[in-house]
């Protein structure tokens, strides 16, 4: 009976020591994430490639005791957020077939963007449509066709783009757009008309 009690005390002390050692050890801590689809907290996947966040315990242990009324315990929490962007460009080339003079508009460039931060769009190389010397109907007397662009950001189609106003292609090169509301998991369209 004495051996059994001594063995149980030894096992209990060992378990308590291991538990304290694990609780005080530096290293990775368990992380949970909130799943919007199920509205529940779920543990991080075990596969490191699938984890969206990791948490590490660092620094020194702190402890103390006395009959002080107040304690100042410095704690540091840092976060490093990886910047990401998910983008899709609908097409990389557009061709107008124009039968007679007029003013035309169409949804030409469509980009879908999602990011965890603002996105800066820098335009370069935009200009008037030039006659193609390699084209079958090339005529050196044809003049360049002026081109202007406008944005649609709220799904309003051509009416929204037209209400925003038009920017000449050459002026577009000198401007940038800072898209500030692309944060989210689902990409949203940013058509350029």
Contacts of 71 (CB under 8 A, 6+ apart): 64
What's the CA gap between 42 and 31, in Å, rounded? Answer: 9
**23-35 pLDDT tens trace:** 445 688 889 988 8
- Is the dihedral angle over the CA atoms 174, 172, 188, 113 positive or is it negative? negative
**170-187 pLDDT tens trace:** 898 898 888 776 665 555
Domain boundaries of the chain, sorted by first residue: 28-60, 85-192
User: pLDDT tens per residue, the chain (193 residues)?
Assistant: 444 333 333 334 444 444 444 444 568 888 998 888 899 999 988 887 778 888 888 888 888 888 888 888 888 888 888 888 888 888 888 888 888 888 888 887 788 888 888 888 888 999 998 888 887 878 888 888 888 988 887 778 888 888 989 999 989 889 888 877 666 555 555 555 4
Show contacts of 30-38: CB within 8 Å, 24+ apart: 30/55, 31/55
Provide the whole-model pTM.
0.54
């Amino acid at each position: 009976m004495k051996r059994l009690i001594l063995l149980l005390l030894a096992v209990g002390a060992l378990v308590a020591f291991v538990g304290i050692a694990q609780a005080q050890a530096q290293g990775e801590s368990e992380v949970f994430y909130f799943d919007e689809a199920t509205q529940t907290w779920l543990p991080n996947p075990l596969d490191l490639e699938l984890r969206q966040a990791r948490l590490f315990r660092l620094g020194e242990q702190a402890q103390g005791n006395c009959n002080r009324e107040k304690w100042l315990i410095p704690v540091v929490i840092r976060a490093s957020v990886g910047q990401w962007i998910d983008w899709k460009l609908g097409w990389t080339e557009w061709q107008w077939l124009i039968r007679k003079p007029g003013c035309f508009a169409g949804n030409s460039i469509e980009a879908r963007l999602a990011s965890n931060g603002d996105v800066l769009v820098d335009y370069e190389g935009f200009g008037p449509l030039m006659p193609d010397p390699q084209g079958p109907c090339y005529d050196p007397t044809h003049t360049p066709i002026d081109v202007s662009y406008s944005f649609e950001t709220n799904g309003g189609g051509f009416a929204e783009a037209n209400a925003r106003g038009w920017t000449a292609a050459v002026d577009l090169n000198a401007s940038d757009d800072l898209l500030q509301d692309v944060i989210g998991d689902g990409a949203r369209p940013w058509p350029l008309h």
